């Protein structure tokens, strides 16, 4: 088996009595684009800082290419960090910023210039080589920060919410730049972000963290379609959550769950079987619920009224409420919606397939 580039083995980080990261176990493969997500204070940036050598683990071991790096100084690791504020030097021009890491390594002037020019050209900013940093746009500064980190040819690049200050259109363009660049040069990216769209659009795998703990690791598709628990389902959004308890488990594995809002049929998201009487959470994606005007038999059916709608580009989300007070979201393509036919207060019947409903075990 190929050894991972990075091994995080039982790593914890405490600041006094506060536990920022709790016994993390994570392998990162060579050439992987890994995104770490979570709300503020979950430990994602602390994890990045431990990889960069800015914070030392309180327990456990971090290995790079099989070698322990817990005590290795930041400048000896070759794990550069692109900061959220980019941290470019305002007293240096663009080329000098890119050359900085090479100068600190004692690289000769001619080679520094040649390598810096190569990366300026690669990132499409060679025409700005002599400009002051203050004369650049946000996207151009972002590219300078990337060039400065990549010019030293590290095995891994760490990125701490590098696109957060960019406007929406530029953010999408920079996502494409980062993705293509990472695949082209083949180095490992570890990317911290709050944004679901960034992580899901770019990463090979996503790590979801909460209060210092890893809640789930998987591909974007796995996490979105099969959240492990209620926290993950609510954090990624677009999910309807119904608490209940198991009343039956059918031979083929389907689970019957009862709630104050009705009786539903679903499938378990866990390899471990659920037991009758066990408290569970029923999770249904907003895009898996559909309107139904007929009386066709369905294991999962509810009568609702429309209480609002939200139009976002090509998608529209309807907000619904049942007589028992359960609020649901139903999402569909705007092109498939007859605009104006459903207004606030409209009575509707909704359904969803059993395979589209997940049983999440309570934490």
pLDDT in tens, 299-308: 899 999 999 9
**For residue range 87-128, what is the model confidence (pLDDT) as tens digits?**
899 999 999 999 999 998 899 999 999 999 999 999 889 999
Answer whether residue 294 shows pLDDT above 80: no
Q: Which CATH number fits domain 230-361: 3.40.50.720, 3.40.50.150, 2.30.110.10, 2.40.50.100?
A: 2.40.50.100
What's the whole-number average pLDDT of the chain? 90
- Output the pLDDT for position 314: 85
pTM of the model: 0.88
CA–CA separation, 267 and 157 (whole Å):
39
Identify the helix (H) or strand (E) that includes residue 138: helix 138-150
Range 237-250 average pLDDT: 91
What is the three-class DSSP state of 252?
coil
8 Å CB contact between 261 and 326: yes
Flag the least confident range among 97-111, 224-238, 290-304, 325-339. 290-304
Axis crossing angle, helix 94-104 with helix 138-150, rounded to the nearest 10: 20
Question: H/E element holding 280?
Answer: strand 279-285
Instruction: Give the residue from 6, 5, 22 showing the smallest Cα distance to 214.
Output: 22
Q: Which helix (H) or strand (E) holds 310?
A: strand 301-312
Among all chains, which residue has been given the structure tokens 């456990």?
Answer: 60
Please write the tens of the pLDDT for every residue from 196-218.
889 999 999 999 999 999 999 99
For 277, the enclosing helix (H) or strand (E) is none
pLDDT at position 286 is 95
Tens of pLDDT, residues 158-170: 999 888 877 888 8
Q: What is the pLDDT of residues 43-98, one digit of tens each?
A: 999 999 999 999 999 999 999 999 999 999 988 888 999 988 888 999 999 999 99
Structure tokens at 191: 């990317």
Has domain 6-225 been given CATH number 1.10.357.10? no
Write out the E strands in 168-227: 188-193, 205-210, 213-218
Determine the straight-line distance between the first and last CA of the chain, rounded to whole angstroms.
33
Percent of the chain with pLDDT over 90: 63
Using the predicted structure, report yes or no on whether residue 1 has a pLDDT greater than 70.
no
Q: For residues 52 and 66, what is the distance between their CA atoms, to the nearest angstrom?
A: 16
Instruction: Provide, rounded to the nearest whole percent, the portion of the chain with pLDDT above 70.
Output: 95
pLDDT (0 to 100) of residue 362: 62
Give Cα separations from 352 to 142, 285, 293 (angstroms). Answer: 44, 9, 13
**Residue 338 pLDDT > 80:** no
Domain definitions of the chain by residue range: 6-225, 230-361
């Amino acid at each position: 088996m190929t050894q991972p580039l990075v091994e995080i083995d039982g790593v914890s980080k405490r600041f006094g009595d506060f536990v920022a990261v709790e016994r993390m176990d994570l392998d990162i493969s060579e050439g992987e684009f890994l995104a770490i997500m979570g709300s503020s204070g979950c430990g994602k940036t602390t994890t990045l800082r431990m990889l960069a050598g800015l914070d030392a683990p309180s327990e456990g071991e971090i290995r790079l290419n099989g070698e322990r790096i817990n005590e290795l100084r930041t400048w000896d690791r070759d794990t550069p960090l692109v900061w959220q504020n980019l941290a470019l030097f305002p007293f240096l021009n663009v080329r000098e910023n890119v050359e900085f890491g090479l100068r600190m390594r004692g690289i000769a002037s001619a080679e520094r210039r040649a390598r810096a020019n190569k990366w300026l050209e690669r990132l499409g900013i060679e025409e700005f080589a002599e400009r002051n940093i203050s004369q650049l746009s946000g996207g151009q500064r972002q590219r300078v920060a990337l060039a400065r980190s990549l010019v030293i040819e590290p095995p891994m690049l760490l990125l701490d919410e590098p696109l957060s200050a960019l406007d929406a259109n530029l953010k999408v363009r920079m996502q494409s730049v980062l993705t293509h660049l990472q695949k082209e040069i083949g180095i490992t990216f570890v990317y911290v972000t709050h944004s679901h769209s960034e992580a899901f659009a770019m990463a090979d795998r996503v790590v979801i963290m909460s209060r210092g703990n890893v809640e789930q690791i998987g591909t974007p598709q796995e996490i979105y379609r099969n959240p492990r628990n209620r926290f993950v389902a609510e954090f990624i959004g677009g999910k309807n959550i119904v608490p209940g308890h198991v009343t039956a488990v059918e031979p083929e594995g389907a689970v019957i769950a009862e709630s104050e809002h009705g009786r539903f049929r679903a499938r378990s998201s866990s390899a471990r079987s659920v037991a009758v009487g066990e408290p569970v959470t029923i999770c249904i994606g907003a895009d898996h619920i559909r309107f139904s005007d007929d009386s066709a038999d369905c294991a999962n059916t509810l009568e609702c009224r429309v209480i609002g709608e939200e139009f976002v580009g090509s998608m529209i989300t309807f907000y619904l409420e049942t007589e028992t007070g359960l609020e649901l979201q139903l999402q569909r393509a705007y092109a498939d919606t007859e605009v104006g036919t459903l207004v606030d207060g409209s009575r509707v019947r909704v359904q969803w397939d059993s395979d589209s409903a997940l049983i999440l075990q309570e934490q």
